[in-house]
Structure 1
């Protein structure tokens, strides 16, 4: 039986049966320094968030990234790998590398990327050796399977419940969603299209600590149905629906690494309406913002920079 469904109501029914005993948070995280960061023409072809700012201040990006490492280290161990020449989007490692840990194994997943400029990142022996030789993880290379599978960029996962939502787009197809659902060991995975012009699901959706959802309705083709399904799984008061301004400022690209805090860029935090901020705080999540506007010129924000270690 396929782990992936395209029926939103059917997914919600399955997801409600997978209530977690407790939220599942990562035991660590890794980042990749923006040493090689630059505006990437490949990525700009399907990433509207990159806009027209083609010049990136490398020194400022590095300073902001160091501040991100320091901030996240308040909550969990964080490792930063260097950026490599010729890998301009390497600062967003969660699209290429992700981890899973269950009764089968602890494993490093390697995604199948759409753009040639990103495909070289998967060959990084230093990152692969860290997980293989230092942490003892098995390696699961999805590049050997059909489909596009840009990991936790295109697939948003509730680790506690073992469920996920894949945003179908030019960077994620049904076959890729199937490969990821199997690789992460999900019991139920919804595959539903993001809106035209969106590239990754994690820009328009976050599932926080198995008990809340942040969703930008403008980012989904079937926005009303998806919001209704999320309300059935998490409860109507636990769904924070972003407006267009919040969406465009990357407020949907957020992450909870421990109970009690949600992390997003400073720009995203500043965009939050009083209603959204109050709703998050009412759910027990204090908002922490980190200045990343220089890195955001490359088309991703805080969540995109964080690869979780489970």
Structure 2
């Protein structure tokens, strides 16, 4: 059964009360084993078909990520991979699921368009009775991140800015548009991560001046990632409100998170980074209708 926000895992607080209390809550995730993972085309700056890919290593690294989620008590469901869709492992791109409603992605690139029907079919048969395929290009949780009552929505390289209005009408939640300007950070989830309902971490150079001003206004206490941590996709992370799973070599970001009372857990997904993806890319959160504050 889907978890609710009352399913608390653990709470942490500095003995002197100097760091905030952090509460972890159970999550329900969807993942896709990288059985057919490869880099055979290039649709972002990270992808180079000339570089060899070790699919068995990618599977082993992905399995470790899945184990971490299970060890933390989260539910992990699996969608079957489809031959000929090497990027299907990046489940976050398949849809956005909020309040029990699923908006299925409409991919920009021809190489990925067949992923959308596979995710729609899975959602339809696993408790989401009426998943809707987006009319405008959006790439799921790659560009839509739920924080508190808002959806932060990225554009600039993949998702059509008009899709933000479509998402707002569908979910009935305020959508905050953010423009990405660095092609290395082509999805919002490569440049920003949600830590809890009030806290985010992000990489300022990835955003336009106006979008950066919005982030500074909305999240004055945000964690700011360094160039080095952003470059290893340290912000492509997941959080249950206390435990933050992130690339193991984002060491500076991990130290910042620890200082804020979070528990960073590093994993190695270096093989999947060859296609421009890491922890969050592999993880689609399934939020049921009774999960009002999934990011707390």
TM-score (norm 1): 0.78
**Contact 1:26–1:308 under 8 Å retained in 2:** no
Correspondence for 1:56: 53
- After superposition, the Cα gap between the structure-2 partners of 1:23 and 1:155, relative to the gap in structure 1 and judged at 3 Å, is farther
**Contact 2:201–2:235 under 8 Å retained in 1:** yes
Query: Is residue 139 of structure 1 aligned with residue 121 of structure 2?
Result: no
- After superposition, the Cα gap between the structure-2 partners of 1:296 and 1:262, relative to the gap in structure 1 and judged at 3 Å, is same
- After superposition, the Cα gap between the structure-2 partners of 1:53 and 1:202, relative to the gap in structure 1 and judged at 3 Å, is farther
Q: Shift in Å at residue 206 of structure 1?
A: 1.1
Q: Shift in Å at residue 23 of structure 1?
A: 8.9
**Contact 2:180–2:206 under 8 Å retained in 1:** no
Correspondence for 2:241: 259
Correspondence for 1:152: 141
Structure 1: how far apart are the matches of 2:204 and 2:257?
Answer: 17
After TM superposition, list the pairs within 5 Å mapping 1:106-125 onto structure 2: 106-124=100-118
* Equivalent position SS for 2:137: coil
* Equivalent position SS for 1:297: helix
**Contact 2:106–2:139 under 8 Å retained in 1:** yes
* Equivalent position SS for 1:149: coil
Larger fraction in helix: 1
Q: Which runs of 5+ in 2 are unaligned?
A: 1-21, 288-296
- After superposition, the Cα gap between the structure-2 partners of 1:261 and 1:23, relative to the gap in structure 1 and judged at 3 Å, is closer
Q: CA RMSD in A?
A: 2.4
Query: Is residue 245 of structure 1 aligned with residue 228 of structure 2?
Result: yes
Counting matched residue pairs gives 265
Correspondence for 2:215: 230
Q: Shift in Å at residue 52 of structure 1?
A: 6.8
**Contact 2:120–2:133 under 8 Å retained in 1:** no
Q: Shift in Å at residue 113 of structure 1?
A: 0.4
Structure 2: how far apart are the matches of 1:154 and 1:289?
Answer: 23
> How big is each residue's C-alpha offset from its partner over 1:175-203, in whole Å with a ceiling of 9 and x where there is no partner?
12222233333224224233345311110
Structure 2: how far apart are the matches of 1:200 and 1:27?
Answer: 22
Structure 2: how far apart are the matches of 1:64 and 1:198?
Answer: 22
- After superposition, the Cα gap between the structure-2 partners of 1:66 and 1:133, relative to the gap in structure 1 and judged at 3 Å, is same
* Equivalent position SS for 1:38: coil
- After superposition, the Cα gap between the structure-2 partners of 1:61 and 1:228, relative to the gap in structure 1 and judged at 3 Å, is same
